[in-house]
Amino acid sequence: MRRRIYDLISEALENDLWSKLYDIFMIFVILLSLISLAFKEYGSLLKVIDHITAAIFIVDYLLRLITADFKLGKKGAVPFLVYPLTPMAFIDLLAILPTLSPLSRSFKLVKLLKLLKFARVIKAINFLRHSKHVSIIENVFRKQKDPLTLVIIMAFAYITASALVVFNVEPDSFGSFFDAVYYATISLTSLGSTGVILVSNLGRAVTMISSVLGVVIFALPAAILTAGYLRELQTSDENNEYTN
């Protein structure tokens, strides 16, 4: 029975419907628990949601604890003592602590304790790690890291160069070189206005070039990732057909 529980909560077996449903259910619970972070004041409904999700997290933690020997691949009492010290088990505890801790009632640390609930987002990633599409995306980033790194280096190089130009052409417009870097970054990414108005023709020319290059530079990663994702999808489909 413990082995079956471990397979259900930890492995997300490829052909196991209940294992997949458990992952989906836990992701839903994690997202539900994050609703309270969007409100400054706790209503009765939020308190009920918070306590229900905390209870589910406790059950999930206990299930993982009693199957720790399968997780760590060791026998005896050692895995049950070691498991609570592992990173993901610690995150599980952080997800539960804000609801159960008596400090939230006795001290003004409640806001600090609520921040620990962000650990639930990391916990959600733990459940998503078995997803086929997440694995494909990981493969894409790993295989395309060289061209992506080159694009990032090009962007940083241009930002630095354009910042040096505008900082020297219009020194009165910037309080420091960092302000010029910020201006060059916003111009390159075309995110919006920085509140800085350049009056020289050279400064304006650099800004216009940055805006145009920004479209090109940031289109490259999208094209690289899209092509890589489609290639990995095709490879995955071919492997599945070969297996079948």
**Residue-wise pLDDT tens digits, 61-88:** 888 888 888 877 778 888 888 888 887 7
Percent of the chain having pLDDT more than 70? 74
In CATH, what number does 140-243 get? 1.10.287.70
Query: Of the segments 13-17, 24-28, 32-36, 124-128, which one has the largest average pLDDT value?
Result: 24-28
Whether 25 has a pLDDT exceeding 80, the answer reads yes
Question: Exposure of 76 by Cβ count < 10 A (0-12 exposed, 13-18 middle, 19+ buried)?
Answer: exposed
pLDDT of 13: 53
Check for a shared fold between 2-130 and 140-243: no
Residue type, 104: S
For the residues 93-111, what does the mean pLDDT come to? 60
pLDDT of 191: 62
pLDDT of 108: 46
Per the CB < 8 A criterion, the answer to whether 138 and 145 are in contact is no
How far, in Å, CA of 1 to CA of 214, rounded?
57
pLDDT of 92: 77
pLDDT of 88: 76
Question: ∠ at Cα 125 (121, 131), nearest 5°?
Answer: 145
Rg (CA), the chain: 25
pLDDT of 107: 47
Q: Map out the domains of the chain as residue ranges.
A: 2-130, 140-243
For the residues 122-144, what does the mean pLDDT come to? 70
Compute CA 144 distance to the chain's CA centroid, rounded to the nearest angstrom: 19
Which DSSP letter does residue 15 get?
A: T
Whether 144 has a pLDDT exceeding 80, the answer reads yes
For the residues 225-238, what does the mean pLDDT come to? 80
CATH class of 2-130: mainly alpha
Q: pTM to 2 decimals? A: 0.52
Q: What would the pLDDT profile of 5-22 be if each residue is shown by its tens digit?
A: 887 877 555 567 787 788
For the residues 130-144, what does the mean pLDDT come to? 75
Q: What would the pLDDT profile of 186-209 be if each residue is shown by its tens digit?
A: 877 766 565 677 777 877 787 788
73-77, 144-148, 190-194, 222-226: lowest mean pLDDT where? 190-194
